Amino acid sequence: MKILSVVGTRPNFMKIAPLVEEFEKHNVGHVLVHTGQHYDREMSKLFFDELEIPKPDADLGVGSGTRDEQIKSIKEKLEPIMNKEKPDVVVVVGDVNSTLAAAQTANKLGIKVAHVEAGLRSFDNTMPEEFNRIETDKISDFLFTTEKSGNSNLLEGGISKDKIFFVGNVMIDTLLRHKRKARQSKILEKLYLGKNDYCTLTLHRPSNVDSKKDFEYILSILGKIQEKIKVIFPIHPRARKNATLYGLDYKIKNMKSLVLIEPLGYLDFLCLMSNSKFVLTDSGGIQEETTVLGVPCITLRKSTERPVTVEQGTNLLVSVDKDKVVEKVISVIDGRADLNGKIPELWDGRAARRITKILLGNR
Ligand code: UD1
């Protein structure tokens, strides 16, 4: 059995780590390819080091660009590698451009595709990730889902039942494995923070930071929130670039209780989230991580592809409306928010084990 896995962006690294570990345990021939979609040290190398992911066998170095440029370049560079390695299965994770490009390359060459985190749907077609999810699922042979909504979405989309496997969440495998180590992080001391006396903010969705008007509106919300609680903002390169492009840097700097920091490594960020009063985000994965940590998550989006985090977890989907967000923040600070923190089914640290068993059983 030979597996070739493809990763490209920060959230992919947490998802591949437990799989690589399982593949090694079972002596599976494994080739790891990094597309290079994310390339900054703190967006990439740091995660390989902290999560002990082996150095990729190949780095395509595609870097930034438009979506079409990224996908085209990944396909061109990946095809000869897949032709040479001739894997039985190509594993892709998540919903980023690298995920779709790798799935399409494998599909073209007649190699089976395993999609980890299949079936999630926001039903918002303006999100690039939604397109990537749908197109990747269409051509996958193994569809590994994290929550039951994924199974229903796939069945409704006409995917055959025998290709769908509800296995749990590999991102949570990684979180549970590193939780203890993250407690040793010195990030709170470094930033002079105490448990629950701040909130953590992440922001990078195109819908929030890719136009001056939207970004400015978000900043006006943050202006209100930082009057109530200190906001720690490890800024994503996309948001940083656009803040400068739109001349919004000064607005961020003028907010006295909004603390801008560089993107953090996995362990520091996990520690920061775990001790936050709440997290404010437009990320997908963070909605899941906060649910497992039992930390309230206020999601600055209209929709979520991860409904189980709202139904069972600590996720409050608030959309991007100033009054609603501020009201929610106050209710969380005052302890009035209605949050039941159940851990979703099979988010137990064993998803990678289940996936490996299924892949090996289908040789
Ligand atoms: C990508 C994913 C998104 C995921 C996110 C996690 C797609 C469509 N989007 O978005 O789903 O949630 O990763 O971070 O695949 N940049 C750097 N250094 C880096 C990486 C990016 O400076 O290491 C800057 C570049 O200016 C680049 C911009 O960030 O143009 C956006 O990067 P890109 O990979 O296109 O998308 P993300 O916004 O990171």
Instruction: Indicate which residue's Cα is closest to atom 29 of ligand 1.
Output: 238
d(CA 159, CA 289): 28
Q: Name the band, by pLDDT with cuts 50, 70 and 90, for residue 315.
A: very high
Measure 8 CA to ligand 1 centroid, in angstroms.
10
Measure 238 CA to ligand 1 centroid, in angstroms.
6
Give residue-wise pLDDT tens across range 20-40: 999 999 999 999 999 999 999
Distance separating the N- and C-terminal Cα atoms of the chain: 7
Let me know: does 107 contact 139? Beta carbons within 8 Å: yes
Instruction: Indicate which residue's Cα is closest to atom 39 of ligand 1.
Output: 238
Residue 204 catalytic?
A: yes
Mean pLDDT, range 237-251, rounded to an integer = 97
User: Which pTM value belongs to this model?
Assistant: 0.97
Measure 340 CA to ligand 1 centroid, in angstroms.
32
Give residue-wise pLDDT tens across range 337-350: 877 789 999 999 99
Beta strands in 211-311 (DSSP E): 230-234, 258-261, 278-281, 297-299
d(CA 196, CA 205): 26
Secondary structure (DSSP) of 180-232? HHHTT--HHHHTT--TTSEEEEE---HHHHSSHHHHHHHHHHHHHHTTTSEEE
Give residue-wise pLDDT tens across range 172-228: 999 999 999 999 999 999 999 999 999 999 999 999 999 999 999 999 999 999 999
Q: Cβ < 6 Å from ligand 1: which residues? A: 9-11, 37-40, 43, 64, 96-97, 128-129, 204, 236-238, 241
For residue 363, pLDDT beyond 70: no
Which tokens hold the place of 63? Answer: 């870097």
For residue 292, count CB atoms less than 10 angstroms from its CB and return exposed for 0-12, middle for 13-18, buried for 19 or more.
buried
Q: Name the band, by pLDDT with cuts 50, 70 and 90, for residue 63.
A: very high
Going from the C-alpha of 332 to that of each of 196, 212, 280, the distances in angstroms are 11, 29, 11
Q: Which amino acid is at 156?
A: E
Q: Which amino acid is at 125?
A: N
Measure 318 CA to ligand 1 centroid, in angstroms.
24
Give residue-wise pLDDT tens across range 108-142: 999 999 999 999 999 999 999 999 999 999 999 99
What atom of ligand 1 comes closest to residue 205's alpha carbon? 38
Beta strands in 226-333 (DSSP E): 230-234, 258-261, 278-281, 297-299, 315-317
